[in-house]
Amino acid sequence: MSLADHTRYRIFKDILARNIMFGLTVFSLLLAVIIGLGLYFKSAPILNEHSLWSMLSSSSWRPFKGEFGFYPFIMGTLWVTIIAIVIALPLCLLSGIYLSEYAHPFIKRLVDPMIDILAGIPPVVYGVWGVLVVVPFIGDKIAPHFVEYSAGYSVLAGGIVLAIMIVPLIISILTEIFASVPKELRDASLSVGATKWQTIKFVILRKSTPGIFAAVVLAISRAFGETIAVLMVCGNISQVPHSVFDSGYPLPALIANNYGEMMSLPLYDSALMLAALILFVIILIFNAVSRIILVRIERRFAL
């Protein structure tokens, strides 16, 4: 093979590899569009029967009477997710700081596999643990101090279980983010007389703010879609929670509980597909808005 032929062959391989990777990237992006369109077309029958706003704002869920109000399920999803983040974020943030800045290497080698084990536990195990431990603890020990009665199956129980589930994810991400801060920045801060905590507070946390925000976004996206564990401890009552001790019914639990059993009712089946579409759109909008905010934070901290 001549030098010219060899050069053309190398250029051809380079162009072919680039086009293949581009095609796979486009296909990956199209998957979200395909999923959204599929859910929309499956939801079309109920959208033709009822207006979207009436279903989103209604609290009446009576499928056999043709009433499909998604407001309680949306609020149940938000309650559980917010509680989970409020519980998990401070715990993970302080744990990540300790592991990256204070912990002995032996402690790190001991904790890292345990975090991986927690991340690999099936959700149903967390759900069983929630039913056996969290629900009785809330119903017998916590709720009596605040409300007259609570069985323990509540959005608080769902939030606690979900918080435990997302802790390994957030800690792993935050540890990597803190470890990626250049050592020179730490040394520069300490050299001018700053304490260890001042260095963490004004250098490491400031430099890591975009990464922390991204970790929270990823955790919230994971929390939005969690099904089995939350389903087992939330109570699954179609109502709008007014306190953390009220039962809730998140959208993923609604879909998991009912899909497959009501296939004989086309409108009911379409309503469940609409629930999946609503969940899909909520996560999509949340991630898009979060990405915009993250870009602005990165620009501000790059200055």
Min mean pLDDT across 40-54, 215-229, 284-298 is at 284-298
Percent of the chain with pLDDT over 70: 94
Instruction: Return the pLDDT at 300.
Output: 65
98-135 pLDDT per residue, tens: 988 888 888 888 888 888 888 888 888 998 999 999 99
Predicted confidence (pLDDT) at residue 7 exceeds the cutoff of 80: no
Buried/exposed 11-33: b ≥16 CB within 10 Å, e otherwise = eeeeeeeeeeeeeeeeeeeeeee
Percent of the chain with pLDDT over 90: 15
Angle at the Cα of 290 (from 287 to 294), degrees rounded to 5? 135
Residues in the chain: 303
Residue 67 token pair: 């009433």
Instruction: Return the pLDDT at 303.
Output: 55
Q: How far is the C-alpha of 83 from the C-alpha of 224, rounded, in Å?
A: 12
Min mean pLDDT across 31-35, 96-100, 281-285 is at 281-285
Radius of gyration (C-alpha) of the chain in whole angstroms: 24
Q: How far is the C-alpha of 303 from the C-alpha of 296, rounded, in Å?
A: 11
DSSP state of 242: S
Instruction: Report residue 137's pLDDT band, with 50, 70 and 90 as the boundaries.
Output: very high
Count CA within 13 A, CB hemisphere, residue 158.
35
Comparison of pLDDT for 150 and 133, the residue scoring more: 133
pTM of the model: 0.85
Instruction: Report residue 17's pLDDT band, with 50, 70 and 90 as the boundaries.
Output: confident
Nearest C-alpha neighbor of 205 from the set 296, 96, 291: 96
196-243 pLDDT per residue, tens: 888 888 888 888 888 888 888 888 887 877 778 888 898 888 888 888
Instruction: Report residue 84's pLDDT band, with 50, 70 and 90 as the boundaries.
Output: very high
Comparison of pLDDT for 83 and 190, the residue scoring more: 83
Predicted confidence (pLDDT) at residue 160 exceeds the cutoff of 90: yes
256-280 pLDDT per residue, tens: 888 766 666 778 888 888 888 988 8
3-class SS at 257?
A: helix
Instruction: Report residue 20's pLDDT band, with 50, 70 and 90 as the boundaries.
Output: very high
Buried/exposed 134-172: b ≥16 CB within 10 Å, e otherwise = bbeebbeebbeeeeeebebbbbbbbbbbbbbbbbbbbbb
Instruction: Return the pLDDT at 3.
Output: 64
Summary mean pLDDT of the chain: 85
> Residue 31 carries which side chain, given as an amino acid letter?
L
Residue 139 token pair: 């119903």
Instruction: Return the pLDDT at 161.
Output: 92
Cα 214 to chain centroid, rounded: 11
CB 162 within 8 A of CB 226: yes
Q: What stretch of H or E contains 6?
A: helix 3-49
Neighbouring residues of 236: CB distance < 8 A, sequence distance ≥ 6: 153, 247, 249, 253, 257
Residue 284 token pair: 């999509």
